[in-house]
Amino acid sequence: MERFSGRVALVTGASRGLGRATALRLAREGADVAVNYQSRRDAAEEVCAEIRRLGRKSVAVQADVSDLDAVAQMVRQTRASLGPIELLVNNAGTAGGGSLPMTDETEWRRILGVNLTGVYNVCRAVFLSMLKRRGGAIVNVASVIAMPGLPGHSAYGATKAGVVGFSRCLALEAAPFNVRVNVVAPGLARTELLKSLRKTTFDMLLAQVPMKRIAEPEEIASVVSFLLSDEASYITGQVLAVDGGLTHG
Residues labelled as active-site residues:
156
E strands along the chain, which residues? 8-11, 32-37, 58-62, 87-90, 136-141, 179-186, 239-242
Give 237: exposed, middle or buried? Use CB within 10 Å, 0-12, 13-18, 19+.
middle
- Is residue 163 within 8 Å of 140, Cβ to Cβ? yes
In the DSSP assignment, the letter for residue 239 is E
- What is d(CA 241, CA 249) in angstroms, rounded to the nearest whole number? 12
Cα–Cα dist 128/157, whole Å: 29
CA 25 – CA 7 distance, rounded (Å): 13
Distances from the Cα of 104 to the Cα of 93, 120, 150, 241, angstroms: 19, 23, 18, 30
Q: In whole angstroms, give the CA distance from residue 83 to residue 76.
A: 9
- Classify 122 as helix, strand or coil: helix
* Closest alpha carbon to 4 in 92, 119, 82: 82
Spell out where 53-197 has E strands.
Answer: 58-62, 87-90, 136-141, 179-186
